[in-house]
């Protein structure tokens, strides 16, 4: 393998929920970020903690064990889908599991391949890279659906007199309607138990001529630009390079602490789990 890591950093911080449902990994073969999604019925069927955490940790372990393989990321992820589907079936045997109960996860993976990288995305995790020009790869389908909920929140009368849970309850029907669009052609594609989702992932390859800076992030990190507007999206990887991913995370948390009732900027969680990995690669060319 010619691509080598010369600098890297990782953060995976819990929000206000009882458990961190994000996960991330950095290895010599690739990097990834996972953002687990909780079932909307409030049920934990396969875990005493959080089904979403169980789901994202399963994939985190799977990638640690399989990212080295020469297969494409689509092939690796298809193998994972088939394995986790069987395991989940055994765990829920005899239980009534509805679509809204199923755990899922957004995911972004970058695999190092000789003199190129391979990328794979499902859901709303983001892939930033700088190879002399700053670029962003992201599926914004979920963002557009989320914006409908946020707009509905903003139209609620006397918003400042309601608790966070009361605000969320007022828009739950729209949240559920959005979730039912999961892994449909008219909705959005995300990692759950669907092999069709793997085929509809954002997937591709990028040549690494000399050096490349990479950042993968969950929406609890990129909300710095996507939702809060405190930093510019096209500058995030530059800020990560110059000041570190912790700087961006701290900006997010400071904003959320200042808006602790989620009134200024309505959202699904007062503080979401926030995860990012940053890697600087170089092409160790043969002499």
d(CA 274, CA 223): 9
Mean pLDDT by 10 residues, the chain (287 residues): 92 96 98 92 87 97 98 98 96 88 96 96 98 96 94 92 90 94 95 97 96 97 96 97 98 96 89 98 77
pLDDT value at residue 287:
45
Q: Where are the domains of the chain?
A: 3-281
pLDDT value at residue 112:
97
The CA radius of gyration of the chain, in Å to the nearest whole number, is: 19
Structure tokens at 175: 């949240």
What global pTM score does this model have? 0.96
Mind giving me the DSSP string for 36-90?
EE--TT---SS-SS-HHHHHHHHHHHHHHHHTTSSS-HHHHHHHHHHHHHHHHHH
What homologous superfamily is domain 3-281 in, according to CATH?
PPM-type phosphatase domain (3.60.40.10)
């Amino acid at each position: 393998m010619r691509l080598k890591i010369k600098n890297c950093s990782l953060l995976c911080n819990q929000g206000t929920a009882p458990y961190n449902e994000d996960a991330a990994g950095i290895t010599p073969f690739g990097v990834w970020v996972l953002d687990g999604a909780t079932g909307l019925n409030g049920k934990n069927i396969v875990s005493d903690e959080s089904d979403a955490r169980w789901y994202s940790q399963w994939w985190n372990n799977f990638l640690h064990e399989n990212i080295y393989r020469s297969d494409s990321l689509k092939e690796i992820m298809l193998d994972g889908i088939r394995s986790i589907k069987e395991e989940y079936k055994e765990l829920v045997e005899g239980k009534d599991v509805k679509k809204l109960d199923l755990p899922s996860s957004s995911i972004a993976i970058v695999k190092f391949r000789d003199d190129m990288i391979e990328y794979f995305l499902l859901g709303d995790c983001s892939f930033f890279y700088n190879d002399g020009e700053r670029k962003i790869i992201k599926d914004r389908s979920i963002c557009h659906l989320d914006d409908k909920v946020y707009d509905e929140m903003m139209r609620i009368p006397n918003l400042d007199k309601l608790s966070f849970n009361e605000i969320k309850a007022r828009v739950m029907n729209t949240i559920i309607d959005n979730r039912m669009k999961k892994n449909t052609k008219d909705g959005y594609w995300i990692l759950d138990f669907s092999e069709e989702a793997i085929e509809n992932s954002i997937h591709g390859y990028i040549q690494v001529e000399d050096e490349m800076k990479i950042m993968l992030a969950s929406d609890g990190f990129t909300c710095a630009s996507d939702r809060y507007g405190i930093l510019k999206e096209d500058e995030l990887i530059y800020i990560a390079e110059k000041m570190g991913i912790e700087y961006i995370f701290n900006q997010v948390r400071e904003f959320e602490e200042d808006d602790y009732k989620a009134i200024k900027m309505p959202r699904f969680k007062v503080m979401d789990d926030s995860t990012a990995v940053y890697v600087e690669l170089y092409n160790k060319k043969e002499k």
